[in-house]
Every structure is written in C-alpha cells, then in structure tokens.
C-alpha cells in the first residue's frame, strides 16, 4: 500500500452501474474501458463489467485490446482509433474488431492475410465532424468489403448530454439513413450502435442493438448541469482519491504560500502539505476546491506544485502530519467530488479521473 497517495476503486459500484445501465438500455452493452478504464484500471474494470452483464469491451487503441487479450479476456473487443498504417494483422490474429472510417484504412484491413477474416465496424460521421466516413461513404462499393466481415456500423453523438438539442435528432436521422444504405448492400445482420452514456440514460430511441457506456459506468454524470449529479442519476461513483498530509504546521497571518506567492494567509492558521501534485493528475489551475479531513473542507491555498499542494486546515484543525485526507469521492457529507474538481479546474469529471497518474496506485475493493 502506498504511504503517500492512492485511488481506491470500488468494483462493486462499477458492477452496480453496469447492471443499471444495461437495464435502462434494454439491449446489449459495450463497456468502454479505454484510457486505463478512465483511470480506474483496464483489466480489473473490464472483468468486472463483463461479469456484471456487459457483452462487449470498447477501447481506443489496439494496444489496449492486446492487453485485455493477454489478461485472458475472450469477450468481443472493438478498437476504434486505429489509423492507416497500424498493425492490423496483429489485431485480426488476436480476434480484435477494428473500427474503419476511411477507404484507405478499409483497403489496408481488407488486405490482411491469414487464417482469420478481419472483423470491422464501419464508423460514420453523422454530424460531429470528428471520426467516421462522410464524403467517402458514397464511394464504398462491393470490392472494398470483399476481404472483411462487416460486424457493425456506428457513430457518436456530439450533444447527447443536452436533451432536446436538435442536433441529436439530426444525427439520429443521418445514422438511420447510413444504416439503410449499408443494409441495401445486403449487410442486414449487423450491430448498430450510437448511444453513449448520456444517450443511454435519456434517449431510449437511440439504443438500437447496443449502447456504449463510459463515464456513467464509473458512476459519474455525463453532464452535471444538464443531466444532474451521480446521485440524481442513481449512479455510484467508483473512485475515491486520497492522500497523506506530508506535513501540518502552524503559520502566522500574512504568510505567502507557494510559487509566486499568489496567496497569503488571512489569519493565523494550520497549513497541510498534501503529498500529490500535477505529476499525479492534480490540476495546477484548480481553485476553490481542496480536501476534507474529519468531515471538514480544507481549500487549496497557493499554486499546486508538481508533487504537492497546500491546503488551509484552519487554526482549530486537529489534523496531524501523516493523516489521510480525501481529495475527492462520492460526495458524502462535505467531501469534494470529481465534479467539484472538474468545475474548479475549468474542466469535467472525465478529465479528473482519467488524468490520475500511474504514480498513484489503484487499490481495488470488491
């Protein structure tokens, strides 16, 4: 166990969230475990999600998929950020489904030789103007897909976390048309998927054959402002981040704190030096957030450093050097949440949990 900082991951919370999301969707569920499972741990989370009812795993990179296979996971895996020039053969040999969004990539995948036929999902751009076929969609013909097995077709919502946004309906309409085009080529037994966490929670009409759930699986809201908090959505946050107070000391009023002396103590107080910094994923720009100790909040004072930051514990605090403090968690009592930290950093909860660095060990609770 670390003597400095740790991220405690509640796998039972992830299992509970997966079961809820699958029941809400009423269809198959792909557990999105890219980016080390949003910082929660790729293999433990993948195994938990599958045990809880997920049928598929989704990753960004082929390397992530290979790691899952090396861990003994045999469930279907889709890797969707696989540009031309990638090692497509290793993916095919390892039974990894590949997302294809250009004719160039389609031709390269189709040229893979061996005992296994490449399995692909065609990614289509329905209005996000990010990944996916757009102008080239009308250029695909039979010879482009003769060497592959078309398993699915998918797209991605840009504003599913804003219910009622016209763009959502526009994207859904475009997706249906592109699916119809593919089906007209004779590909009728395909998996259609477009729903992310937000759409899964609020738009059952977009569920199709499978939903892809990322952030909600980890118990966090896709958008606190538009959809409400984790508690509002009956989701259980899985990660609790805590750290030790490397040092607690009394300082007088008027003491400058940290690089640049950007803040000065307003009164005699106790300061706590928290043994985490931006090298561990704590945002340097975070303001109006901090830690909790014994149910009381202690805000950051001064700038976050590479390995540490300072909090104002208050003159009456009983905290001592070596005590554990909560950086963020489920928000019980006065505890800060990943939502709080995201807002305090001009960002979102996704970034906060994903950026917690490898120096911080993950401790798993079943």
Give strand pairing partners of 10: 365
Closest to 8 measured CA to CA, from 240, 222, 341:
240
* Cβ(149)–Cβ(193) below 8 Å: no
Residue 218 falls in the annotated catalytic set? no
Residue 270 falls in the annotated catalytic set? no
* Cβ(149)–Cβ(119) below 8 Å: yes
Q: How far apart are CA 293 and CA 334, in angstroms?
A: 9
**Which residues make Cβ contacts (< 8 Å) with residue 220, sequence separation at least 6?**
230, 235, 237, 338, 339, 349, 350, 353
Closest to 272 measured CA to CA, from 233, 236, 325:
325
Closest to 14 measured CA to CA, from 230, 334, 198, 159:
230
Largest Cα–Cα distance in the chain?
A: 77
Q: How far apart are CA 175 and CA 193, in angstroms?
A: 9
Residue from 104, 225, 249, 259 carrying the catalytic annotation: 259
Long-range contacts, 91-95 (Cβ 8 Å, 24+): 91/62, 91/65, 91/118, 92/116, 92/117, 92/118, 92/119, 94/65, 94/66, 94/69, 95/69, 95/119
* Cβ(159)–Cβ(223) below 8 Å: no
3 state DSSP class of 327: strand
Q: How far apart are CA 29 and CA 220, in angstroms?
A: 17
Residue from 20, 34, 47, 236 carrying the catalytic annotation: 34
CA torsion sign for 17, 18, 22, 23 is: negative
For tokens 């095919």, the residue is 92
Active site residues: 34, 259
């Amino acid at each position: 166990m670390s003597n400095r900082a740790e991220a405690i991951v509640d796998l039972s919370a992830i299992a509970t969230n997966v079961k809820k999301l699958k029941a809400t969707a009423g269809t198959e569920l792909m557990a999105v475990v890219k980016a080390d499972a949003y910082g929660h741990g790729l293999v433990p989370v993948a195994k938990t999600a599958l045990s809880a009812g997920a049928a598929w795993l989704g990753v960004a990179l082929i390397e992530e998929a290979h790691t899952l296979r090396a861990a003994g996971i045999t469930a279907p895996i889709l890797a969707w950020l696989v540009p031309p020039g990638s090692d497509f053969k290793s993916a095919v040999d390892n039974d990894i489904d590949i997302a294809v969004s250009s004719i160039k990539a389609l031709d390269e995948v189709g040229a893979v030789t061996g005992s296994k036929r490449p399995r692909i999902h065609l990614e289509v751009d329905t209005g996000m103007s990010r990944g996916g076929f757009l102008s080239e969609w009308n250029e695909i013909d039979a010879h482009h897909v003769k060497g592959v097995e078309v398993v699915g077709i998918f797209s991605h919502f840009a504003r599913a976390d804003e219910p009622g946004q016209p763009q959502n309906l526009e994207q859904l309409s475009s997706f249906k048309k592109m699916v119809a085009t593919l089906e007209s080529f004779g590909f009728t037994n395909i998996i259609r998927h477009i729903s992310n966490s937000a759409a899964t929670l609020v738009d059952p009409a977009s569920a199709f054959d499978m939903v892809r759930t990322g952030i909600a699986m980890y118990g966090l809201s896709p958008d606190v402002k538009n959809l409400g908090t984790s508690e509002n959505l009956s989701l259980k946050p899985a990660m609790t981040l805590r750290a030790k107070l490397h040092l607690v000391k009394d300082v007088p009023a008027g003491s400058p704190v940290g690089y640049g002396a950007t803040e000065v103590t307003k009164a005699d107080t106790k300061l706590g030096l928290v043994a985490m910094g931006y090298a561990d994923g704590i945002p340097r720009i975070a303001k109006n957030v901090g830690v909790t100790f014994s149910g009381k909040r202690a805000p950051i004072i001064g700038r976050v450093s590479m390995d540490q930051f300072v909090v104002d514990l208050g003159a009456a605090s009983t905290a001592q050097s070596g005590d554990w403090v909560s950086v963020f968690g489920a928000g019980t009592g006065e505890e800060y949440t990943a939502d709080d930290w995201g807002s305090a950093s001009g960002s979102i909860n996704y970034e906060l949990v994903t950026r917690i660095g490898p120096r911080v060990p993950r401790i798993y609770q079943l």
